[in-house]
Amino acid sequence: MSTATITVTVKLFAAYQEACGVSEMQLEVEQGVAVMVVRDRLIAQYPQLAQWRDLTRFGVNLQFVEPDTLMNDGDEVVLIPPVSGGGVEG
């Protein structure tokens, strides 16, 4: 028996975008999994992202959500690592 899957659009910012080399991607995940699975899959592919594991915030369909929020087919998922301001040295 196969597990049903869903497709989500993942928007990447800052460190995630830099590591993955794209600003957006489509991912297929098992139905009924939490948004943190997207983060964990990217960290498995790009280990340099591990430093952001506990600092990443999540958004689904333009709303901030908790890491254990379940995703639905067609959701837009956003991973937001901490960003620092553009201070100017001088």
Instruction: Note the pLDDT of residue 46.
Output: 96
Nearest to 78 by CA among 7, 2, 22, 24: 24
In angstroms, the CA 81 to CA 38 distance is 13
Asked if residue 88 belongs to a domain, the reply is: no
Instruction: Note the pLDDT of residue 36.
Output: 97
CATH number, domain containing residue 21: 3.10.20.30
Asked if residue 52 belongs to a domain, the reply is: yes
Instruction: Note the pLDDT of residue 90.
Output: 46
Instruction: Note the pLDDT of residue 3.
Output: 83
What is the CA 16 to chain-centroid distance, rounded? Answer: 8
Instruction: Note the pLDDT of residue 84.
Output: 62
pTM: 0.85
Asked if residue 51 belongs to a domain, the reply is: yes
Q: Which residues of the chain have pLDDT under 70?
A: 1-2, 84-90
Count of domains for the chain: 1
Asked if residue 87 belongs to a domain, the reply is: no
Amino acid identity for residue 73 in this structure: D
Instruction: Note the pLDDT of residue 89.
Output: 52
Instruction: Note the pLDDT of residue 82.
Output: 83
What is the CA 51 to chain-centroid distance, rounded? Answer: 14
Asked if residue 86 belongs to a domain, the reply is: no
> Tell me, what DSSP letter sits at residue 51?
G
